[in-house]
Amino acid sequence: MPAHAEPDRRLRGLVEAAHAVQPRTVALRRRLHRHPELGLQLPMTRSAVLDELAGLPLRIHPGTSCSSVVAVLDGERPGPTVLLRGDMDALPLTEDTGLPYASKIEGSMHACGHDTHTAMLASAARLLSERRELLAGRVLLMFQPGEEGDHGARQMIQEGVLDAAGPAGTPSAAYALHISSTMPSGSVQTRPGAIMAAADVLRVTVHGRGGHASAPHDALDPIPPAAAMVGALQTMITRRVSALDPAVLTIAQIRAGTTSNVIPESAYLEGTLRTLSERTRRQLHEQLRQVCQYTAATYGCTAHVEIDSGYPIVVNDPDAAARVDQLSNEVLGRGRSTPMDSPILGAEDFAYVLNRVPGALAFLGGCPPHLSPESAPPNHSNKVIFDESAMVDGVALYTAFALDALS
């Protein structure tokens, strides 16, 4: 028998099987979409996931410090462990889509598609449970809260998600899908190496001396150095960072003063730094401090600089990224996987998993058919809509990732 015949047999019919469970996938997704929850504590979301997994041959491990769910599916033969991740938390937005299943919670919305990720992973658990005889090893299903800035993956690792399958079950591969409303529905993109950026927060407080606005010479006005810092920091990025190893710095918040005739004691800046290599990230942390402190000193002021390290760089294992590309075309059809020429500067805490386990993050297109990728509201918009039919492809891919790794 040719070497490629066995993978073909195992992967055959996955799209049809995903279609068969699509009513369940949609029902779970809409249940989550109506009742989105923020952060690390998602009691309604976890309850919905546990309801959907009930009755499947899984070992369930609910989180203790957060509303995570870890489920382990043991195959019928020994072998390695593959981890599949789906994040569950929403964003602090008020939905404005007009959908019949729109969020019922003011100020909370699944605007990044995590409800689709969770629903796809739950249905993949069902398909994999029906195919246990094909699994040599085990599948570790990671339902994660707190992706939107709360380091949920790191917390789950600290709680032992990578050891949940037992002493011999440390994952040897890890995969995650992320839906995108601005990619053609059902298309797949990934790349080897860095695919998403590290995200750090810069906070600067400029300290001066307050006084009357009519006599600035008797005060140390912190506003001019704060304004000068914005330009100096942007110039630093363009002149100190290689264009071949890019970085983005955005000052997104400036606060100073309370009225028109008072020079304030201090001014405050806050922004985000995005980088694609640890070397540039470390260099910029030091250079940002220098620029802010020296600029403040030029005006006779001082600057207190804080840099909070956020999510690490998301780095795909080259072999895992190649498998995603090949499986997408094999399972979904030729041409479904298209090249991703460059990384994006958004951040994702699946980076914590990929720092420990070789694997890959891939993007799944979910642009609604009545819109074009160019005109569709993007992820994180309160008007974003995802094509639910793309979840069929996501369920099939999650299932294929596990079947391929546990042949």
Tell me the catalytic residues. 311, 388
Residue 400 and residue 327 in contact, taking contact as beta carbons nearer than 8 Å: yes
**Residue keyed to tokens 């979301």:** 45
Query: The tokens of 248 are what?
Result: 């983005």
Distance of CA 298 to the CA centre of its chain: 40
Amino acid at 404: D
Rounded to the nearest 5°, which phi and psi values hold at 383?
-110, 5
**Burial status of residue 61 (CB atoms within 10 A of its CB: 0-12, 13-18, 19 or more):** middle
DSSP state of 118: H
User: How far is Cα 322 from Cα 208, in angstroms, rounded to an integer?
Assistant: 55
**Residue keyed to tokens 């008007």:** 383
Angle at alpha carbon of residue 145, lines to 404 and 346, rounded to 5°:
75
- Closest-CA residue to 174 (of 352, 375, 407, 54): 352
Contacts of 385 (CB under 8 A, 6+ apart): 97, 99, 181, 368, 371, 376, 377
**Residue keyed to tokens 């299943």:** 101
Burial 185-217 (b: 16+ CB within 10 A, else e): bbbbbbbbebbbbbbbebebbbebebbeeeeee
Kind plus residue range of the DSSP H or E element containing 228: helix 223-240
Q: Facing residues of 271 across strands?
A: 202, 251
Q: Beta strand 359-365 with 173-180: parallel, antiparallel or unpaired?
A: parallel
Angle at alpha carbon of residue 56, lines to 54 and 62, rounded to 5°:
55
**Residue keyed to tokens 């990934």:** 190
